Every structure is written in C-alpha cells, then in structure tokens.
C-alpha cells in the first residue's frame, strides 16, 4: 500500500499547524516583544536581536533569531554556561524564562523551523556524515523538543564542569541526539501538542520542572535517558 499520500497529508497538517500557531502567537505576543525589546535597550542598548547560522533540515544552513542576551560583540565559546560573564542582567532573566527564543516564531513562519523538532545546532557541532546526524537532519528543526525540556537546566550542568565544551560535545549532545531519534519513533500530533504545553508551563514556572514527570509522560519517546 502506498503511504506517500498519507505522509504528505500529515506533513501538510503539521505545516499548517506551525504556520497558524506561529502567526497567532506573534500577533498576541506583540506587547511581550515590545516589552522585552525595551528592557534590552535600557539594560545594554542596541541591538535587540541576535542571529546565528544553524544547520536545518537536510543540512541546509539558515539564520536563527533570538533576543540578545549577551553583551554585543562578546567573544568566546558558542556554548553558554551558568554564570557566563557575557550574559547581561536582563539576558539572565530572558534565558531563565526562555523568552529569548520567542523570535524563532518568525523562523517557523518562514519555514526554516517547526514548533516541535530537534534543536538546530551550529555547523561546527554537526557531523554530516554520521548516520545518527543524517537521520536527525531529515526533519525540520524546532523551537522545542523532548531533549530541550529534559535538558532545560543544561547551562547549570555545564557550569559545574571543568571543561563544559568537552562535556557538551562528548556527553550532552549525543544524549540529545538519542532522545531525538527515540521521540521520532513514537511521535504523533498529540505528543507534539503535549510538548508545546509542557514547554510553555516550564518556561513560565521553571521552578516546577519535573524531569521524572516528563519521562513518565513520554515513555518510550524518552529512550533510556
């Protein structure tokens, strides 16, 4: 039986959901965008936004957008740890509540990203020839995913390490990739909706984050993590 039409309809529905939700979200979040922009300007001046090249679907590079949380022009690692001196006072708050990620709704509207999907990496962290990476890059990257929720305290984990770059590349990133692959096997529209609501919940109330609850909620989608 040819499943191509069914897959096509599923992808079309997912894209419609992404476009509708991102468009509505951008409309209702206009006051939030304005407030965040004002806070950044008062705290550290322009620019308000930060952009960076990331690896998207099928290895295509695209420019991701965020609210700026670091001092403009600050050199250093692409990895950020807790206590990073480059992060501004307002940036620390934005990162805590994940408000810096909101401009990525424009990336979703454009088609570079989806609401749910593997977080896009910087090119230097992607091994394009590796089978695991090739599988992960078959889908459109997202604003949130299971790995993003389970590792929402990643900066604290990295901050406690003597070599955060090595910890990220050798341990955290491979674990995230395994979660991406495991979630893909059991992924459904309603699982994605659950992830979106959990992301919003833990962004608004980070102190309520419950890793065990997330693992129980998504079962096999969390693999062996």
What is the distance between the alpha carbons of residues 20 and 108, in angstroms, rounded to a whole number? Answer: 10
Highest mean pLDDT among 46-50, 190-194, 212-216: 46-50
- The model carries a pTM of 0.91
What is the distance between the alpha carbons of residues 173 and 199, in angstroms, rounded to a whole number? Answer: 20
Checking if the pLDDT of 6 tops 80, the result is: no
- Contact by Cβ (8 Å): 142, 116: yes
17 against 223, higher pLDDT: 17
Checking if the pLDDT of 1 tops 70, the result is: no
pLDDT tens digits for 60-81? 999 999 999 999 887 888 899 9
Q: Is the peptide bond before 47 cis (omega within 30 degrees of 0)?
A: yes
Angle between helices 211-218 and 189-204 (to 10 degrees): 170
Mean pLDDT across the stretch 167-181?
96
Average pLDDT of the chain to the nearest whole number: 92
Burial of 182 (0-12, 13-18, 19+ CB in 10 A): buried
DSSP class of residue 70 equals B
What is the distance between the alpha carbons of residues 210 and 198, in angstroms, rounded to a whole number? Answer: 10
- Contact by Cβ (8 Å): 167, 157: yes
What is the distance between the alpha carbons of residues 202 and 141, in angstroms, rounded to a whole number? Answer: 20
- Contact by Cβ (8 Å): 105, 22: yes
Checking if the pLDDT of 7 tops 90, the result is: no
What is the distance between the alpha carbons of residues 154 and 104, in angstroms, rounded to a whole number? Answer: 20
Mean pLDDT across the stretch 175-193?
92
- Contact by Cβ (8 Å): 128, 193: no
pLDDT for the residue numbered 75: 81
Checking if the pLDDT of 175 tops 80, the result is: yes
pLDDT for the residue numbered 202: 95
pLDDT tens digits for 119-148? 999 999 999 999 999 999 999 999 999 999
Task: Provide the token pair at 194.
Answer: 């659950």
DSSP for 94-141 reads HHHTTGGGTTHHHHHHHTS-EEESPPPPPGGG--TTSHHHHHHTTS--
């Amino acid at each position: 039986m040819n499943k191509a039409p069914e897959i096509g309809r599923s992808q079309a529905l997912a894209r419609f959901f992404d476009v509708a939700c991102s468009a509505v979200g951008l409309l209702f979040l206009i006051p939030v965008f304005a407030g965040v922009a004002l806070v950044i300007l008062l705290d550290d001046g322009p620019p308000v936004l930060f952009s960076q090249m990331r690896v998207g679907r099928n290895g295509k590079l695209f420019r991701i957008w965020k609210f700026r949380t670091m001092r403009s022009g600050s050199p250093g690692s692409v990895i950020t740890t807790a206590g990073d001196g480059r992060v501004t006072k307002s940036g620390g708050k934005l990162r805590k509540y994940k408000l810096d990620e909101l401009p990525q709704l424009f990336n979703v509207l454009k088609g570079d990203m989806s609401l749910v999907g593997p977080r896009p990496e910087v090119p230097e962290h992607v091994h394009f020839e590796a089978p695991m990476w090739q599988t992960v890059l078959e889908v459109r990257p997202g604003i949130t995913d299971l790995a993003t929720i389970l590792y929402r305290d990643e900066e604290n984990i990295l901050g406690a390490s003597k070599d955060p770059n090595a910890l990220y590349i050798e341990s955290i990133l491979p674990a995230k990739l395994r979660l991406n692959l495991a979630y893909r096997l059991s992924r459904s529209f309603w699982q994605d909706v659950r992830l979106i609501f959990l992301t919003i919940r833990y962004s608004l109330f980070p102190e309520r984050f419950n890793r065990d609850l997330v693992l129980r909620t998504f079962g096999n989608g969390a693999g062996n993590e």
